[in-house]
Every structure is written in structure tokens, then in C-alpha cells.
Amino acid sequence: MKLSTLCYCLTDERILLALKKKGFGEGKWNGMGGKVEAGETVVQAAVRELEEEVGLMAQDKDLQLVAVIKFFMAGECVSECQVFFVRVWTGEPIESEEMKPQWYSIDKLPFDGMWPGDRVWLPLLLAGKKIQGEEYLDASGQILEKFEWKELSSRNNFSR
């Protein structure tokens, strides 16, 4: 199982998504992120991926951890992903070899072009919930078999 990150840039009414142009997840809209490399923290990985993929620079302190989700394909846990929201950054989103960024209204997300579980958990996060979840996909990764989650209270919060 690999440790990975997802980072979503938010304004009051919009969210930055990016179209994956190559590799795993090609053709899907998603947040920016990827796997954690040796010697870096999850937060450092999220900051690095944000800059590499869409040219935005954020500081560690500005990332808000909103979810930890384990992803399963064909019953095997393939990734544990820490999901962050960020509302403070510098720069303007730019297209990279890997990602093509685009702003979306929070109430008009392109769920048909996203991973199947996103339509379940992303609205929970946008509504202010902090969750721990498990997403189960079929072997193709195209069919959501189930998504189980629990909300974390302020007393049972995440540690980084």
C-alpha cells in the first residue's frame, strides 16, 4: 500500500480540479496530488505535488487535513490518501505535462468525469465534515462497490 495525497484549492464558491493527462487516472478530473516520496512528510508531498502539477505554491501551515481515505481495488488496499483543502497560495494555475487545471463552481462539479467515489465523499468535505473512509472499487477502478465512512469529531481529530 502506498501513502498518497490529494489537495484541493478552494475559494468561497469555486474549487480547482485538474484533468489528468497521462498515467494512472488519465482522463479524470481530480485534485492535485500523488505519492509520498522517501524522506518527505505527507504535507510536504502535498505542497510539492501542487507546485509540480499546476504551478501553485502553498505553505505547510495553510493545508487543512479534511480526510484520510483508504482506496481498495478488487479487495486489495492500494493507497491510503490524506486529503487537504488549501485556501491560501501564490501563483496562478498553469497546465503541466501531467495536469490541465480548471476552476469549477462548487455546486457544479463534473462528477461524471471524476473517480466514482468522489461524488460520495467530496460533497461531505465541502459541507465541512472531516472524515475517515474506505472506498472499494472493482478491479477496473470504474465501479464503486461501496464507500464506508465516519465523521471525526473535534475531540477525535486527525494528527499529521
Residue 117 neighbours by CB under 8 Å, 6+ apart:
69, 71, 135, 137, 144, 147
Q: What are the CA-CA distances from residue 96 to residues 36, 116, 128 (Å)?
A: 19, 24, 30
Residue 39's pLDDT band (boundaries 50, 70, 90)?
Answer: very high
Residue 23's pLDDT band (boundaries 50, 70, 90)?
Answer: confident
Model pLDDT for residues 114-127, shown as the tens digit of each residue = 999 999 999 999 99
- Taking the complete model, does pTM exceed 0.85, yes or no? yes
Question: With contact defined as beta carbons under 8 Å apart, do 20 and 98 qualify?
Answer: yes
Question: Maximum Cα–Cα distance for the chain, whole Å?
Answer: 42
Which residue, chain included where needed, has cell 484541493? 8
The structural domains of the chain, ordered by start, are 2-151 (3.90.79.10)
In this prediction, residues 22-43 reach a mean pLDDT of 95
Buried b (16+ CB within 10 A) or exposed e, 107-139: eebeeeebbbbbeebbebbbeeebbebbbbbee
Question: With contact defined as beta carbons under 8 Å apart, do 93 and 111 qualify?
Answer: no
